[in-house]
Structure 1
Amino acid sequence: METSKKKILVFIDWFLPGYKAGGPVRSMANMVDHLSDRFDFYIVTRNTEYLEIEPYRGIQSNVWVDFQPGVKVYYASAVKEGLRLWKQLIQAGNFDTIYINGIYSFKYSVLSLWAAKQFNNLKVIVSPRGMLAPSAIGVKSRKKNLFLALVRWVRLYRGIDWHATNEKEASEIKMLCGNATKVSIAANLPRKTNLNQTPVQKQKGHLMVCSFARISLEKNTLFALQTLSLVQTTGEIHFHLYGQIYNDEYWQECLSVIEQLPVNIHVEYKGVVDADRVGEQMANYHVMYLPSRGENFGHVILESLMGGRPVLISDQTPWLGLSDKKAGWDLPLSEMPLFASKLDELNLMDQQQYDQWSMGAQQLADQFVNDPTRMQQYLQLFQ
């Protein structure tokens, strides 16, 4: 006899069709894509895109909207968001599990957890999504440290389960809540796509580099630009930046560095590209460059590898040991000249040499995507 699917209520600040909030949106979209045939997901989110005030066009607010089979979304307006609505939705839905994405959002992390804890029969899972990493806490650190001290004091997370995406994040959770805390590890799931490697021509002395990340201190855009001034080869390098500019002062620093670069190095800001078109755009480049200060996962890194494009990244992500697999390089941020030397190495590659790295990137991605243990981890998390 067929049993009914378990119902999972999700609270997340931003969801599709939004994409400007980056990784958390992609992580949630991938999760429900892979699991909606086994569970029914009800996602509560804002009715606006990140940093915007106008509601999404063509989407009705404050009602459950059919998003895809097994997924409904409640796009809440600003005047409706809050404890009262959250409790009403929980009470009316007969849910099995509450899943809270993030920890710092007052409405979607704190108030949703407070509402969920009013119902004793519910399993509650919180996923910090990298927000407890030192690199994340370091941004607006005073405010975040005060918040973390407060939640320890009031024991806000007592009795709930945690979802970590890797061992490092599990350790960060236990540092906050204690070693006895229940933490389940389930790595991020890849985008469901048939994206295959698109060949790209590689001539010695010509290099196309891209970055798909917000222009920000966390993503280390300025660092990436500064490394270009250390490049030794005289071949042409084109570096194209895609992503939202959130801080005009930081962007002005970036522009100052760009103006000083050698004549053979060309940097262009290309604006924001829809998340669904990132893979398509990457096909025009030889390498994705992201010396980020920290990534909980790095969906854009996986997307680059899936397209057969090696990556040049910092060692502050889960993607390590890349050079051994000929998939790219993960380097310490304390060694800026190393990043420049890898750009030199890439610039001097011919087609045959580059194809070896392209193949290594795709093989690593295939190994990750086809790993069956990831789905098992999520089934254990929600069962």
Structure 2
Amino acid sequence: MKRQRVLITIDWFLPGTKSGGPVRSYANMIDHLNHYYDFLIITRDTDYCSDEVYDSIQSDSWNQFNEHTSIYYFSKENLTRDNFSTLIKNTEFDILYVNGIYSWFFSILPILLVDKRHKIIVSARGMLNAQAFSVKKFKKKLFLILANAIKLYKHVYFHATNKDEAIQIESHIKCFKGMYIAPNLPRKMQGSTKAKQKHEGPTRFVNIARVSIEKGTLKMIEAMRTITSEVILEIYGPIYDSEYWIKCQNSINELPKNLKVEYKGVLESEDVPNALNDYDYLILLSEGENFGHAIIEALSSGLPVLISDNTPWKNLESKSIGWDVNIEKEEEIINAINKATRMSPLEYSKWSKSALEFADEFTQNPELIEQNKALFLSSQN
């Protein structure tokens, strides 16, 4: 039986990591599904907010990523409508899988160019969720008005990663062909199955996210101010807003001596599992996460997590794997931090074991694979 060929259009992909979750989502999906499908990816030859071309790739050419995946890296000078159109016409594929909503070249143009006899899927990646409109609200709303007016998505299926996102998509897109709900696939991790021991000395928190308002970096630092226990917080992630980072640094400088906060730079995606071993908890107080790869990867490493309640991961304390707090109520954040720092080594080991068991049950669920495979079933075209 002929393998289906899935063409993915996405602004940034591996070896880039600075654009965050979507790159990890697609890398994981390919890793899980390339036994069933061939993947072709069209992307840029630079990372997010970078002009430096990736090492060891050939720009404006197809590059073999693995046995069943090839990537075409567009250079900045050759990324034009004509060149994109020519590439699409000269590429044999069965299904178009579009990342995101607002990118002209990688989210909108492919839909306009591809023959509607192909199955077309758009993965919204949280871009239609309520919190996504806190940035560039007017432009996004205007685009959606125009898209609905011309029925841009008339022949398109949407991919939502959960029921809440499906509701958000339906509230903004008035005409589309169908909806799939399939959770993001986690990274295949070969971590320890043994519960972690809490580090001696200060409680060690790690934050893995871009330094930004929507990821709650400053809110996290400011919540630490009243903590009397000894705490180490280490922050990994790219900085895009220098003024915001200055505010974060000023807040760090005002913290009492029992709190040590350090920025550690950008952590490469493949280094995340090993890095997590150095910490007791992951903390991530974002305004919203469509999935949150760092969250499930932390749990897979035996780390309980302290996160906002604006993610799919809910009721964590009742499961003894962490806390999901209302980030608008600082007392909830402070209360959770205090519970984490004061947890006994014996209790911590129990929570770590619960985190491992929860992550294992989630990642080994065969239904996740089937839901994602169903996205590409051509019989539903």
Selected match of 1:14 from 7, 12, 15:
12
Amino acid in the other structure paired with 1:375? I
CA distance in 2, matches of 1:106, 1:261: 44
Tell me, in whole angstroms, the C-alpha distance in 1 between the residues paired with 2:200 and 2:269.
Answer: 31
CA distance in 1 between counterparts of 2:253 and 2:61 reads: 50
Overall identity of the aligned pairs, in %: 41
Q: Which residue of 2 aligns with 1:132?
A: 128
| Residue identity matched to 1:5 | R
Partner Cα separation in structure 1 for residue 111 and residue 309 of structure 2: 33
Kindly provide the amino acid, as one letter, of the partner of residue 322 in structure 2.
Answer: G
Q: What is the TM-score normalised by the length of structure 1?
A: 0.95
C-alpha contact 1:127 1:164 (8 A) present in aligned 2 = yes
Q: Which runs of 5+ in 2 are unaligned?
A: none
User: Is residue 38 of structure 1 aligned with residue 32 of structure 2?
Assistant: no
How far apart are residue 204 of structure 1 and its match?
7.4
Q: Residue by residue, what CA displacement relative to the aligned partner does 1:53-80 show, whole Å, maximum 9, x if unpaired?
A: 1211221011111100110000111222
Give the corresponding residue for 2:316: 322
Any conservation in 2 of the 1:205–1:348 contact (CA below 8 Å)?
no
Out of 263, 275, 280, the residue aligned to residue 269 of structure 1 is: 263
Q: 1:141 to 1:197 in 2, by over 3 A?
A: farther
Q: Which of 189, 195, 208 is the equivalent residue of 2:204?
A: 208
Match in the other structure for 1:68: 66
1:260 matched to 2:254: yes
Identify which of 216, 229, 237 aligns with 1:235. Answer: 229
Higher mean C-alpha deviation, range 178-187 or range 218-227: 178-187
Matched, 1:280 2:274: yes
Contact 1:63 1:74 in 2 (8 A): yes
The one-letter code of the counterpart of 2:108 is V
SS for the counterpart of 1:244 is: coil
Structure 1 residues 332 and 94: alpha-carbon distance in aligned structure 2, compared to 1, 3 A threshold? same
Paired with 1:190 and 1:111, the residues of 2 have a C-alpha distance of 29
User: For 2:218, which of 214, 217, 222 is the aligned residue?
Assistant: 222
CA contact (8 A) 1:44 1:74 kept: yes
TM-score with structure 2 setting the length: 0.95
1:380 & 1:251 partners in 2: Cα distance?
Answer: 42
For residues 339 and 322 of structure 1, the distance between their equivalents in structure 2, rounded to whole angstroms, comes to: 14
User: For 2:288 and 2:69, how far apart are their aligned partners in 1?
Assistant: 31
Match of 2:191 in 1: 195
Residue 24 (structure 1) shift: 0.4
Alpha-carbon separation, structure 2, partners of 1:226 and 1:257: 7
The one of 93, 96, 100 equivalent to 1:95 is 93
SS in structure 2 of the partner of residue 184 of structure 1 = strand
Range that drifts further, 143-152 or 105-114:
143-152
Deviations 1:76-102 (A, max 9, x none): 112222332333233222311001011
Aligned residue for 1:239, secondary structure, equals strand
How big is the alpha-carbon RMSD for the aligned residues of Structure 1 and Structure 2? Answer: 1.5
Q: Distance in 1 between matches of 2:19 and 2:36?
A: 27
Q: Which residue of 2 aligns with 1:377?
A: 371
SS of aligned partner of 2:26 = helix
